[in-house]
Amino acid sequence: MKKLITGVAVVFGLIFPSTFTIAAPPDDTFVVGLPTDTIGLEPAQISSRHTANIMKHIFGQLYSVSETGSIDPNLAESYKISDDGKEYTFTLKEGLTCHDGEALTAEDAAYSFNRVADEDLAFTGNSAGFVYKSIDFKEARADSEREVTIVLGGPNHIALGLIAEVYVHCKDSYEKMSKDEAASNPIGSGPYEFVKWDKGSQIVLKKAANPPIPTNFENVIWRVIPEASTRTAELIAGNVDMITNASPDQVEAIDASSTAKVAKVQGTRRMYVGFHQGPEFAVTPGGAAIQKPEVRRALQYAVNVPAICENLLNAPCTRMTGIVNPNNAHPNLEPYPYDPEIAEYLLDQAGYPRDANGVRFEITLQAGEGRYLNDKNVVLAICQYLDDVGVKTNCEILDWSAVYIPLIKEKKAGPMYFIGSGGATWSPLYDMADLSAPDSGPNYTKWMNEEWFKGWKVINNTNDEYIIRREIDRMLEVFYNEGPWLHLYFQPDFYGVSNRVNWNPRRDEKVDLFNATLK
């Protein structure tokens, strides 16, 4: 026993002096704290925002969308569009290499695009699933050493921004690897080279020998820290330089610390409550009620969106006026004010007076939990606001991935549901593409309004900026008056930033560390 105690004492004696102070990251290293691990590291298979953020440091794109919404050169230095709008030809910068030293040529770029579409490899996710279907991708071909052409099925106003979401890699290195190997050994073309991935723990990157765009820090480490309190503690202790998804209720504590501050941005993600218009819900009293535009309009007045932002999100906000982000929104539309009296009056007028129990009609509001900022509480608050005007709301808060997402994607969520849809600042059409056709994937409301959908024909048949903008504004008015969304807010994003570094967040949930510097 005595020996044991001595042994333990010796061991502790050896350990403690060496690790008493837990060191901050070295000066050339930037450490990010993320809530979830990456979903693989395959550049052609991306279905999460965090994965995309890590990948854009490892892989270059032809062009990339900047934080201001401009579309800037990345691996390519220029591009031109054919007269019929179907061919985009990019000229690559000179002297590009992949991280294994191989020269990056137009052939590699064309390979990267064609690989995503390769049916044998069976990729899904953002590039194969969303981007390629949106631009109707046909093929990519190398025209010369530095010229690559992407061929589309038809002209598309937002093709350039979408092409910017495809990651470029080298042909030889990827042909050598099996699909399994490629999923965890990215050989990149971007500013940072992959070093290692400890699953569930960290992804380590170092600056590439030949970065295509300038960057500061020598090393970048993405640490996975699932629990928000732990992320906050690590930030305050100075062990990480930046955390994403800081909890709104921990903002004051972070700001009060001497080591870190919270950077808030108004994001581009549009948070809304959808009114399902499909016949399956029309048989329920609530589902039938929200088929009437007057009822939907009445409910807009019932919810105090600024109060939700102020109290539950800890970030003052202006309520959205519709589907499009503010910089591209209709200039003359004002957000619906919070006025429960108008709401009650309109509901009376629409034929839904309060009954003896003070109830106008009953309705279910479904939501997933844990995906958006304070989502559970926001939804409970919305239900309370609707209750207050006599709409008895049954709040169903469901498991996000196992239950809610299948309901949403099968368009069976409702009659009301809460969700956020990723948006962009660089084009109003990107935001509006949620409702590009009555049967489009993200039209979870099954909205069929002709006045809205006929606008797409006008837009797709012209290149005249003025006509496009006029049509957009007309459609946005339709959406404002009769749309299937209860307008909420653009989700604010909270990043905790250590005082050790200068780093500014972007509005579109993308994280780039290229401009970060040490203070």
Partner 1 sequence: MNSKKTNNQNIKDFLFALIKNKWALTSIIWLFIIIAIAIFASQLAPFDPNKNNIMERVAPPLTLDKQGNMKYLIGSDALGRDSFSRLIFGAQVSLIVGFSAVLVGGILGTALGVYAGYYGKWIDDIIMRLADIQLAFPFILLAILFLVVLGEGLINLIIVLGIGQWVTYARIARAQTISQKEKEYVEAAKALGVNNFSIMFGSILPNIFAPLIVIASFNVASVILAEAALSFLGLGVPPQIPTWGAMLAESRDHIFAKRWWMPFFPGMAILLTVLAFNIVGDWLRDYLDPRLKEVE
Partner 2 sequence: MLAPIWSQHHFLNKKMFFYILRRIPQTVLVIFGVTLVTFIALQIGGDPTYLFVSERASPEEIEETRKMLGFDKPLHIQYLIYLSNLVQLDFGDSLYYRQPALTVILETLPATIELTIFSMLIAIFGSIPFGILAAIYRGKWIDGSLMAIAMLGQSIPSFWLGIMCILYISLNVSWLPISGHVPFLMLIFQGEFIQAFKNLPTTITYLILPSFAVAFYSVSRNARLIRSSMLEVLSQDYVRTARSKGLSEYIVIMKHAMRNAWLPVVTIIGLEFGFVISGVVVVEVIFAWPGLGRTVFDAISNRDIPLVQAAVVVISLFVIVINLITDLVYAKLDPRIKL
Instruction: Tell me the closest approach of the beta carbon of residue 392 to partner 1, in angstroms.
Output: 13
Q: Which does 184 bind (CB under 5 to 8 A by kind): partner 1, partner 2, none?
A: partner 2
Token pair of 268 as six digits: 């581009």
Structure tokens belonging to residue 138: 């046909």
Q: Given the DSSP bridges, would you call strands 29-34 and 219-224 parallel, antiparallel or unpaired? A: parallel
**What DSSP line would sit under 247-306, residue for residue?**
-GGGHHHHHHSSSEEEEEEEEEEEEEEEE--SHHHHTSHHHHHTTSHHHHHHHHHH--HH
373, 402 Cβ separation under 8 angstroms: no
Partner whose binding site includes residue 433, from partner 2, partner 1, none (CB under 5 to 8 Å by kind): partner 2
Stretch that binds partner 1, among 50-58, 227-235, 440-448, 511-519 (CB under 8 A): 227-235
* Piece of 110-118, 186-194, 372-380, 409-417 that binds partner 1 (CB under 8 A): 372-380
Instruction: Indicate whether 369 belongs to the interface with partner 1 (CB under 8 A).
Output: yes
Q: Is 250 in the site for partner 1 (CB under 8 A)?
A: yes
Beta-ladder partners of 33: 223, 243
- Which of 301/490 has CB closer to partner 2? 490
Query: How far is it, in rounded angstroms, from Cα 386 to Cα 393?
Result: 7
Residues across the chain: 519
Q: What sign results for the dihedral spanned by CA atoms 48, 49, 54, 56? A: positive
Asked if the bond preceding 415 is cis, omega within 30° of 0, the reply is yes
Instruction: Strands of 339-402 (E only): list them.
Output: 361-369, 391-399
Q: Report what 438 binds from partner 1, partner 2, none; CB cut-off 5-8 Å by kind.
A: none
Q: What is the rounded CA–CA span in Å between residue 39 and residue 126?
A: 12
Q: From the CB of 448, what's the least distance to partner 2, in Å?
A: 16
Q: Which stretch binds partner 1 (CB under 8 A): 4-12, 87-95, 251-259, 416-424?
A: 251-259
- Pick from 229, 461, 499, 515 the residue near partner 1 by CB under 8 A: 229
CA 113 to chain centre: 22
CA-angle at 482, arms to 477 and 484, nearest 5° = 115
Q: Does 499 bind partner 1 (CB under 8 A)?
A: no
CB of residue 267 to partner 1, shortest distance in Å? 20
Q: How many residues bind partner 1 (CB under 8 A)?
A: 28
Is residue 136 close enough to count as binding partner 1 by CB under 8 A? no
* Partner whose footprint covers residue 441, from partner 2, partner 1, none (CB < 5 to 8 Å by kind): partner 2
Whose CA is closest to 142, among 173, 113, 162? 113
Q: Which is nearer to partner 1, 106 or 397 (CB)?
A: 397
The residues that touch partner 2, with contacts defined as CB under 8 A, are 1, 11, 14-16, 18-22, 36-37, 39-40, 42, 45, 47, 122, 124-126, 129-130, 133-134, 179-180, 183-184, 198-201, 223-227, 229-230, 233-234, 236-237, 239, 399-403, 405-406, 408-409, 421-422, 433-434, 439-442
Helix 293-302 × helix 340-349 angle, to 10°? 160
Binding to partner 1 by CB under 8 A, coded x per residue (else -) over 293-312, reads --------------xx--xx
Write out the residues near partner 1 by the rule CB under 8 A.
228-229, 232, 236, 247, 249-250, 252-254, 307-308, 311-312, 369-370, 376-377, 380-381, 384, 395-399, 402-403
